[in-house]
A and B are shown apart, each in its own frame.
Chain A
């Protein structure tokens, strides 16, 4: 019968229309600024620099090695290495970035800087409401704007941050153990194997 197919289709639309009053999954729209969907843990937008402790300038993990600058596909990172050194999160003397700029109008959120960073210093943020009325300055972020605390990182990517923290703690424990061993070697040169294997773990924060 002519028109049967059309009628069948109309029944389908009617079912969807009236169904939307009863079943939630037929009504998928969210009224955005008032209502928000929860963000996924893996979500990513623009990079930020992680710092430990309370002072962002002292605790910045970045050592200015410029690997991310080289690997960045659209070349949106600009780093100037410092002339002097200061202690990093582990306590070793390291360089730090004197200038660290990211042009977020160029950044394409690909996460390659995060992958190549050997110091867990740069991570992806999930902040997406970033509109500004300054086309150039407002989108060129400097070190102060980029630095965010480790607590913030733990909040937005809990699983990933826990892994990173564990890894860093392990590294720190190793370094501490080495330092301790070296110190003990100096004081008691006759017993080089005196360090217990678990002795570094107590210093883990």
Chain B
């Protein structure tokens, strides 16, 4: 499947949308399309209905957690030092906020091609974590989006039944996030290896 062509097809069919190609460095060569949340629904509808693509089968839906990253670089800046303008080296830190990502793998059962990988990203990891749900288009996303909501905490708007699926309803955190801290509730058990042994000894 030619991603460039699909990209231009989408942009022709859904005016005003911005689709980016995310390049995948592994030998698998499964590059993906990054969609903007405003147009996701129309794009998904187009991909499903288009007679050439006809991606009627959404195989896999999954979440990915990308933590905040901090990159530091050295920059030379002109600055007044003791009245004289000098070139000073300064370390500038750029903090890019992390985000949660939902990845969809689409196939076509009729045309027997695929996969087309779609991604959508939240603004950050804390308060703006809403994404449009694609369950109304592909029913197979129903349980999988619930699972992402449960384990990653992405809130899917338009999902018919967004509840916890694997963890119990009273559970509060989202265990698949990279910064999840395990509850310290070990029973005493003389296990032979350090980490659990230490934790269990405290109880």
Contact = CB atoms under 8 A, between A and B. Distances in A.
CB–CB under 8 A between A and B in the complex?
yes
Interface of A: 69, 75-78, 101-103, 106, 136-137, 140
A103 B194 CA distance: 13
Contacts of B192: 76-78, 101-103, 140
Residue among B189, B191, B194 facing the most chain A CB atoms (10 A cut-off): B191
Contact of A136 (B190, B194, B196): B190
B203 interface: no
B193 A75 contact: yes
Interface of B: 189-194, 196
Contacts, number: 21
21 contacts: A69-B193, A75-B193, A75-B196, A76-B192, A76-B193, A77-B192, A77-B193, A78-B192, A78-B193, A78-B194, A101-B192, A102-B192, A103-B191, A103-B192, A103-B193, A106-B191, A136-B189, A136-B190, A137-B190, A140-B190, A140-B192
Contacts of B196: 75
A106 B200 CA distance: 15
B9 to A, nearest CB: 45
A200 B196 CA distance: 48
The 5 tightest CB contacts between A and B, nearest first, are: A78-B192, A101-B192, A75-B193, A103-B192, A136-B190
A163 to B, nearest CB: 31
Residue from B189, B191, B192, B193 whose CB has the most chain A CB atoms within 10 Å: B192
Interface centre among B189, B190, B193, B194 (most CB of A within 10 A): B193
Contacts of B191: 103, 106
Contacts of A106: 191
